[in-house]
Amino acid sequence: MNHQFLVLEVADSVATVTIHRPDKGNALSPQVLKEVATLFAALGERRDVSVIVLTGGERYFSAGFDLDEIRKLEKSSNESYTALFHQAYRAVLFCTQPVICAVGGAAIAGGFDLTMMCDVRYCSTRAKFGQREIVLSLTPILDPLWRIIGLGRAKEVAFTGRIYGAEEAERMGYVSKIFPEGTLLASVGQIARDMAMHDRACLSEAKRLSNEVLHQSLDGSMRVQEWLFRSYIGSQDNHSRIDALQEQLATARRR
């Protein structure tokens, strides 16, 4: 599978997808969007991939929309272009495996929206975020943003269109942790490898559950979670992991 603007590396059950369009700040051209959609759909089917890392590298994430491309559009013929964004967004959001976002620089407008589709977000100290659609007379994406940071905060971010830094993104709960500049990819890579050591099916079910429980009553959510837990407890994988953990603890006590 050849891509012009994405670089794929797979190792230790982790797929690292890097947006690589440095001359344009990793702006999301139609071709970039097509590649994101097709690659994530393909990765969702791979049994050798348990976790995916999406990044733009240590310097960029994505400057967002390719404004030169948007300037060519007419309102009467914008449907196919708009669909490309949502195909890419949905491919990430509903990918089978957990997707970790590593933001090394600016994540603006469409680039910010792409980070929003990931399950977990980490960033470096040089990262900046901004949902800038309102500045361009475009409607912002509020869902799933409000699910991540709450409705009031999501409205403030969307309606002002302001740009904010890594520390504020962490305070509002948008990113989970900030890493020093230059250490982001190595740090997130280790987190992803540790996560990928868990049962692949459990990870996928946990991701699916995290999306589904939002639409359930509390009673319904508890019933679904009980059923899923029953699907795994006592399985051969469950037993083998218990044995491994107990052996690890016994070894530690003997030291």
Q: Could you tell me the domains of the chain? A: 6-196 (3.90.226.10), 216-254 (no CATH)
Q: Report the run of H or E that residue 16 belongs to, with start and end.
A: strand 14-19
Instruction: Please report the pLDDT score of residue 72 as a whole number.
Output: 81
Confidence category of residue 62, pLDDT binned at 50, 70, 90:
very high
CB 10 within 8 A of CB 48: yes
> Which of residues 217 and 122 earns the better pLDDT score?
122
| Tokens at 117, concatenated | 């589709």
Q: What angle do CA 72, 155, 101 make, to 5 degrees?
A: 70
Cβ-Cβ contacts under 8 Å for 201 (sequence gap 6 or more): 237
Strand partners, 121: 101
Confidence category of residue 236, pLDDT binned at 50, 70, 90:
confident
Confidence category of residue 206, pLDDT binned at 50, 70, 90:
very high
Provide the whole-model pTM: 0.91
Rounded distance, CA 90 to CA 116, Å?
11
pLDDT higher than 70, residue 1: no
pLDDT in tens, 106-161: 999 999 999 999 999 999 999 999 999 999 889 999 999 999 999 999 999 999 99
